[in-house]
Amino acid sequence: QQQVKQSPQSLIVQKGGISIINCAYENTAFDYFPWYQQFPGKGPALLIAIRPDVSEKKEGRFTISFNKSAKQFSLHIMDSQPGDSATYFCAAQGPNSGYSTLTFGKGTMLLVSP
């Protein structure tokens, strides 16, 4: 059972365009939603994260939008650059009490064409 569904599997965007990756979850106990970026042959690295008490978080060209009622969250990359070409994973973690691990989506391979 996949607890975090991510789409699309792959995405091609022109330089300067907006890249949008979507994730949906079922478990209402999730309360932490990070996005990780992974370049080929490397380990993932945290890009940006959000908690459900806010609907949006922005860091530079990267924005997370969070819709708690729909149980969806998305990553927007503004002014996409060739250097953004990587695989992006959304993840979810919870509940707040006790200990829990990250559940990852299956990933989106982004290619930004020059």
User: What residues make contact with other proteins under the rule CB under 8 A?
Assistant: 6, 9, 32, 34, 36, 41-46, 49, 51, 89, 93, 96, 99, 101-102, 104-107
Nearer to other proteins by C-beta: 18 or 54? 54
Query: Whole-number minimum distance, CB 106 to other proteins, in Å?
Result: 4
Nearer to other proteins by C-beta: 72 or 103? 103
The strand pairing partners of 43, in sequence order, are none
Q: What is the DSSP annotation of the chain? A: --SEEEE-SEEEEETTS-EEEEEEE--TT--BEEEEEE-TTS--EEEEEE-TT-SEEEETTEEEEEETTTTEEEEEESS--GGG-EEEEEEEB--SSS----EE---EEEEEE-
Query: Whole-number minimum distance, CB 9 to other proteins, in Å?
Result: 7
Query: Whole-number minimum distance, CB 30 to other proteins, in Å?
Result: 12
Nearer to other proteins by C-beta: 13 or 92? 92
